[in-house]
Structure 1
Amino acid sequence: MKIESVATARLVLHPLSQGEAERIVARESGDRDLWGEGYPGDGDVRAATGFLRGLAERGDPGAFRLYEIRLDGVSVGGIGFHGPPDDLGVATIGYGLSPSVRGNGYASEALRAVLEIARVAGAAGVKGDADLDNPASHRVMEAAGMACVAEDEQLRHFYLGF
């Protein structure tokens, strides 16, 4: 199944292929990969590793995959799903940006686009979480319309139902 890139006002969300994810894990850009400063980070490598594991275990996840966040054609972060929606139809998201481009609203912009991808693909809702000491990530999810629904000793949990 061919998944198309999604354009926002300032970004392009590029759906990762298996080969691209393998290059991220190896931290070896290919001939056509343009990586910004600090990309891929450790979180990008962990996400790509999980994406590859999901491909091996469940096959292609369709829209519920990992996307590179590209700014002016350069990869500056990643966003996407931890896999297909669970039995209740809820998908889990994660995201990260290179430090050099943080603070410009790009993460919220990308998250709004991914929420729309999930809605159109039939998810009942999307959840995500962030460490208590990461208020910037809390603001990202709130700016994209997700509400804080719970908090424990380590995390704030966010949700948006469709």
Structure 2
Amino acid sequence: MDDLVTERLILHPLNAGEAEAIVAGTPDDGARWAPEYPMDDDVAAARRFLRHREEGNGARHLGAYEIRRREDGYAIGGADFHGPADADGSVTIGYGLVPSARGQRYAAEALRALLTYARECGVARVKGDADHDNVASQRVMAAAGMRLVGEDERVKYYETAWTV
């Protein structure tokens, strides 16, 4: 798959070697990582991606991505679909940015691009969640067009859905 390019970002789909480098914490040749990258969530996403490659049953996984700034090519975070879409066409997404890249609307820009991509791939619903105290992530999902659909004592749940 090709990179997804937005106004300020490149969403680069990871291949197995790049995912392994993230898990190891050592950039591939030529990779440019911001100082705080990868974070624990990036490592977890890379592991999920690699696990699906090993154990996948042939179901299409929409991937895991490095979020890179176009201006300098540095990886400043990541995003991933947590697996293939389920029988109802739903998939969960996660994302995160290194602290130095937060507050610049990069996350909402990346999320919007990934939602568009999911829709183009025939996904019916994308879900996300954020802890009650993670107001920034709640704002990102709302800014990307996701709507609050529920909450429990710990988490708020968001989604966006299309007729496919």
Partner residue in 1 for 2:155: 155
Q: What one-letter code is carried by the residue in structure 2 that aligns with 1:22? A: E
Structure 1: which 4+ aligned runs deviate by more than 2 Å? 59-63
2:61/2:85 contact within 8 Å kept: no
Instruction: Give the TM-score taking structure 1 as reference length.
Output: 0.95
User: How many angstroms does 1:62 deviate by?
Assistant: 5.1
Number of matched pairs: 160
User: How many angstroms does 1:82 deviate by?
Assistant: 0.4
Q: Does 1:67 align with 2:65?
A: yes
CA distance in 1, matches of 2:24, 2:33: 13
1:70/1:76 contact within 8 Å kept: yes
Structure 1, residues 73-100: CA drift from partner, whole Å, max 9, x if none? 1100001200111110011100000000
The unaligned stretches of length 5 or more in structure 1 are none
Q: What one-letter code is carried by the residue in structure 2 that aligns with 1:42? A: D
Relative distance call for 1:30 and 1:61 in structure 2 (3 A) is farther
1:90/1:126 contact within 8 Å kept: yes
- Which structure 2 residues correspond to residues 96-115 of structure 1 after superposition, within 5 A? 96-115=96-115
Partner residue in 2 for 1:139: 139
CA distance in 2, matches of 1:112, 1:50: 22
Over the aligned positions, Cα root-mean-square deviation in angstroms equals 1.2
Q: Does 1:91 align with 2:91?
A: yes
CA distance in 2, matches of 1:39, 1:59: 31
User: How many angstroms does 1:59 deviate by?
Assistant: 6.2
